[in-house]
Amino acid sequence: MIRTTLLLGAAVALSACAANGGKAQTAASDPAPSGPGKGKGYDHDPYPSTYRAYPGAPTLVTHVTIFDGEGGRIDNGSVLFRDGKIVALGKDLAAEPGVTVIDGTGKYLTPGVIDVHSHLGDYPSPGVQAHSDGNEATSPVTSEVWAEHSVWPQDPGFGRALANGGVTTLQVLPGSANLFGGRSVTLKNVYARTMQAMKFPQAPYGLKMACGENPKRVYGGKGRAPSTRMGNIAVDRQTWARAQEYKRRWDKYEEKGGEPPSRDMAMDTLRGVLDGEILVHNHCYRADEMAIVMDMAKEFGYKVTAFHHAIEAYKIADLLKANGACAAVWADWYGFKMEAYDAVSENLAILDKEGACAMIHSDDENGIQRLNQEVAKARAAGLKGGFAISEEAAWKWLAINPAKALGIDDRTGSLKPGKMADVVLWNGNPYSVYTRPQMVWVDGALLYDANDPRKRPVSDFELGQPGEGDVK
Amino acid sequence: MKRALLLAAATTLGLAAPAAAQNVAITNAKLVIGDGGQPLDGGTVVIRDGRVVAAGAGVAVPAGIPVIDAGGKWVSPGIFAGFTRMGIVEVDAVSTTNDASAGSSPFHAALDVAPAVNPRSTPIAINRAEGVTRAVVAPENSSGSIFAGQGAVIDLASDANAVSRPRAFQFMEYGEDGGRAAGGSRPAAIAMFRNALFEVAAYQRAPASFLDRGKDSLLTRADAEALVPVLRGTMPLLVHVERASDILVVLGLKREFPALKLVLVGAAEGWMVAREIAAAGVPVMANALSDLPSSFEKLAATQSNIGRMQAAGVLVGIGTLGQDEARQARWVKQYAGNLVALGRIPGASGLDWGAAFAAISSRPAEVMGMGADYGSLRVGRRGDVVIWDGDPLEIGTNAVSVIIDGVEQPLSSRQSRLRDRYWKPGEGALPKAYER
């Protein structure tokens, strides 16, 4: 994974930068004149994660069916995690003293569900106008806005996604009114007083882009560009051309020094994309538009990490594969708008069958509570068509594949030793409608237990209200 | 009778007319009657002239009736979708194809969805293929009135006339939506409601002089006429209401207008006043899995709502208000299955399997007062039957045969055609446009 390596490099550079306050640094051996160095002209991480894992007991789950999230399966297996990390999984792991042992007979154990497309916190419950913080619909290009600055950490939806959906990580994106909607943020699904304390440590940022109906409708309705699909692409290209110029100026300054160029927060984000430090998540429904966007990415030297919603991805599975672009899709949404008219329930299955990178997503505060069932539907559609995808392989659609699309697959998204112990124990087969999460751990800390009302999160908003602390 | 008309129409329109067999017997079934009981092995259901004449274990098949051997598969009544907007919307965001609401119309209660129902709208075929055979279709209100208009019950058959019962009910909004539509508050909604019914009473007394009452009546003649059966109690009044205190206010309307035949829709906080709802004898069409305080009138929303109401003696069916209801009625199977799953969560209230299936078959039909005609395989009901390749509430189970009014239905849709065309995405000797 070349991309992941690049990202990690960027992450290291970022933390180094944060550590010295973003000040210019000149290696003593370099001859003058010299700039602050690549990526060091300004702080790339001014709102750093303050997330800390909660303490957890060393835990061994035994006699359980395991989907490891990368396509592996162990029947009647065991998983051991300790100090927030997966330690081992196998057939017969012995219980050491001091380890909590949970009998998983009849149950299933998986990595935590990862939702690559959520608006929790930005469009929280209650969905009143005062909470509507997901679309900065005042200009088609708002790559300067960051979804994290809208996240309300008291959204009751986070707790539902944890308890009913086993969701341990999610990407919160700006909405799709704009061509360049702004930066996304990846969160651990752990309640906190601040957004920063939910922020997944050193996850790369995403850039939300949108094609199709939404931007042209929103801005065409205001009598300004874009009002057509060709207008969408024209504004996109003009913006990328500006970003290239901005990048050249800053690259030159960071290398050679002199007077720093003017800062432009929108262009900072796009420069990050051109540098491979920020990942593009592109809302796009139609096959023909995705093909155009992939050419546009080549034209300007960036990469689309994932097309989101991607209703027609199945029509161009081969093109997506050739371009290394993923598709994040629903199981069976269709028809609510023109560009969703050609949906099929076999979308995920066809993509996977053709070797393209595919995953489920919710885009919905209710759907995020049942992503396991959405994958069950998508898998069933594939089976019906004759594509024999196994249960364990389909779990990639809500584990390692979204982890890769978020650039965090080196730390979560599967049950590999050394990875974060983000784990769900299900009270049955998670593809059955009759199954629910039994226990959910994030970084090895038990944060939901169906049998313990005290392990049921209640956000500030719900405190003192009717239904506080109820099973939801 | 209706069927004969339909076939004539189908011929005229050049439709692929479905086989007109309204007589059929299905034997060797894992039979679900849909009345709340558990499935019976070795069951038989007999349909004659489009209606169930016998169903159960040890039922004999009369001579001369075509027989389908289910081979031990699950057989159940078709799904009765409790609250939808199917057939009146093709693409939500394309306003010319969306007949759910009419914001610029001077009429409200008089609006009747029946003429808008299009049996060829794509959601009909998609939901039919997944075992949905009947649906409640409601209009949507718009600002200016709490009254949305008159809804229908439709079938999902592949023929030219989908409407089983036109003008089956009146739908109105209370609570947050009703208050805003009426002018800005819940009191405004109540004032509008009381004024309307007083005017309806005046219309009833002297229809000819109603027009002389002038603008002060705040009700058109057509709206007054449409509300007469509501005031008389011959047409159900479905009221969307969520908050516990609002539910009690709606139940209280029966004190002033005793003939009202109320049905609550939504009722997210119904569990908090379940005893009062049961005592009033008012049935509920509830959303199954609402569990977020998505508005201030749903603070206490929980997936246990239906289980708790049913335990308190309320008649509850599953509806899908606000849940992509123009096209995703098929999701009620998944919702019902989730209510079964709740039974394994300590402190939660779910439904057992039989009750969960009834919540998407006989119960919603009974909520609408139509249990004698639809929603189960008890004798006398319409012959809407589905053969499944597994447990119909489980994800991944397919409907292998769908029968409506005793007539076997096609199961293809625009979606299945697209799937077939793109199962192998690459283009072949000719463009995809030639592949079909």
3-state secondary structure of B73: coil
pLDDT classification of A30: cutoffs 50, 70, 90: low
Report pLDDT for B12.
Answer: 38
Query: In terms of C-beta density within 10 A (0-12 exposed, 13-18 middle, 19 or more buried), how is residue A464 classed?
Result: exposed
Residue B300, chain A, CB below 8 Å: the answer is yes
Average pLDDT over residues A195-203: 98
Between A229-256 and A265-274, two packed helices, what is the crossing angle to 10 degrees? 90
pLDDT-wise least confident of A256-265, B12-21, B223-232? B12-21
Cα A415 from Cα A110, distance rounded (Å): 7
Residue B422: closest C-alpha in chain A = A315
Taking all residues of chain B, what is their mean pLDDT, rounded to a whole number? 94
B51 CA: distance to closest CA in chain A (Å): 32
What percent of chain A shows pLDDT beyond 90?
92
Beta-carbon contacts of B412 under 8 Å, excluding residues fewer than 6 positions away, are B125, B129
> CA-based diameter of chain A, in Å?
70
Q: How many CA atoms lie within 13 A of A356 on its CB side?
A: 30
CATH code of A111-422, in short, is 3.20.20.140
The pair of structure tokens assigned to B109 is 């209660």
Q: Which residues of B touch A125 (CB under 8 A)?
A: 292-294
Cα A85 from Cα B200, distance rounded (Å): 70
pLDDT: which is higher, A18 or B424 = B424
Q: Scanning the structure block, which residue is given the tokens 């835990």? A: A59
Residue B343: closest C-alpha in chain A = A434
Q: What residue type is assigned to position A395 of the chain?
A: W
Average pLDDT over residues A353-381: 98
Average pLDDT over residues B25-52: 97
Q: How far is residue A76 from each of residues A89, A123, A417, A426, B300, measured CA to CA in Å?
A: 11, 41, 18, 14, 40
> For residue A143, which of A176, A175, A183 has the smallest C-alpha distance?
A183
The torsion region of residue A188 among left (phi > 0), alpha (psi -120 to 50) and beta comes to beta
Report pLDDT for B105.
Answer: 95
Q: Say whether pLDDT at B10 is over 50.
A: no
Q: Which residues of A touch B295 (CB under 8 A)?
A: 126-128
Report pLDDT for B301.
Answer: 98
Average pLDDT over residues A336-352: 98
Taking all residues of chain A, what is their mean pLDDT, rounded to a whole number? 94
Phi and psi torsions of B238, nearest 5° = -90, 125
pLDDT classification of A29: cutoffs 50, 70, 90: low
Average pLDDT over residues A429-456: 98
Report pLDDT for A19.
Answer: 41
Report pLDDT for A268.
Answer: 98
A472 CA: distance to closest CA in chain B (Å): 4
Report pLDDT for B209.
Answer: 87
CB contact under 8 A, A433 and B337: yes
Beta-carbon contacts of B288 under 8 Å, excluding residues fewer than 6 positions away, are B303, B306, B318, B332, B335, B336, B338, B339, B359
Q: How far is residue A47 from each of residues A43, A181, B267, measured CA to CA in Å?
A: 10, 19, 42
Strands (E), B192-343: 237-241, 262-266, 284-287, 316-319
Cα B54 from Cα B47, distance rounded (Å): 7
Domains of chain B: 1-77+376-436 (2.30.40.10), 79-374 (3.20.20.140)
The pair of structure tokens assigned to B226 is 């449409």
> For residue A364, which of A373, A352, A353 has the smallest C-alpha distance?
A373
Q: How would DSSP label each residue in B267-283?
A: -TTGGGGHHHHHHHT--
pLDDT classification of B375: cutoffs 50, 70, 90: very high
What does the radius of gyration of chain B's CA atoms come to, in whole angstroms? 22
Average pLDDT over residues A310-335: 98
A376-416 pLDDT, tens digit per residue, is: 999 999 999 999 999 999 999 999 999 999 999 999 999 99
Look at strands A437-442 and A423-426 and give their pairing: antiparallel
Cα B102 from Cα B148, distance rounded (Å): 9
Dihedral of the alpha carbons of B230, B232, B233, B235, in degrees to the nearest 10: -40
Residue A47, chain B, CB below 8 Å: the answer is no
Strands (E), B70-204: 74-77, 79-84, 132-137, 147-155, 163-173
B186-199 pLDDT, tens digit per residue, is: 999 999 999 999 99
Cα A110 from Cα A98, distance rounded (Å): 23
Cα A196 from Cα A43, distance rounded (Å): 16
**Residues 139 to 198 of A: which have CB under 8 A from any B CB?**
156-157, 160, 164
A 10 A CB-CB count for B49 gives 12
pLDDT classification of A6: cutoffs 50, 70, 90: very low
The interface pTM score, or ipTM, of the predicted complex is 0.94
Cα A319 from Cα A301, distance rounded (Å): 18
A316 CA: distance to closest CA in chain B (Å): 6
pLDDT classification of A92: cutoffs 50, 70, 90: confident
Dihedral of the alpha carbons of B248, A462, A84, A165, in degrees to the nearest 10: 30
pLDDT-wise least confident of A86-95, A271-280, B271-280, B358-367? A86-95
Average pLDDT over residues B230-253: 98
Q: How many CA atoms lie within 13 A of B377 on its CB side?
A: 34
Average pLDDT over residues A26-46: 80
Residue A128, chain B, CB below 8 Å: the answer is yes
Q: Scanning the structure block, which residue is given the tokens 């990580």? A: A169
**Distance, first Cα to last Cα, chain A:** 40
Residue A354, chain B, CB below 8 Å: the answer is yes
pLDDT classification of B18: cutoffs 50, 70, 90: very low
Average pLDDT over residues B60-88: 97
B215-240 pLDDT, tens digit per residue, is: 677 899 999 999 999 999 999 999 99
A49 CA: distance to closest CA in chain B (Å): 28
Whether A65 contacts A91, CB under 8 Å = no
Residue A375: closest C-alpha in chain B = B395
Report pLDDT for A308.
Answer: 98
What percent of chain A shows pLDDT beyond 70?
93
Report pLDDT for A395.
Answer: 98
Residue B430, chain A, CB below 8 Å: the answer is no
Every domain of chain A and the residues it spans:
111-422
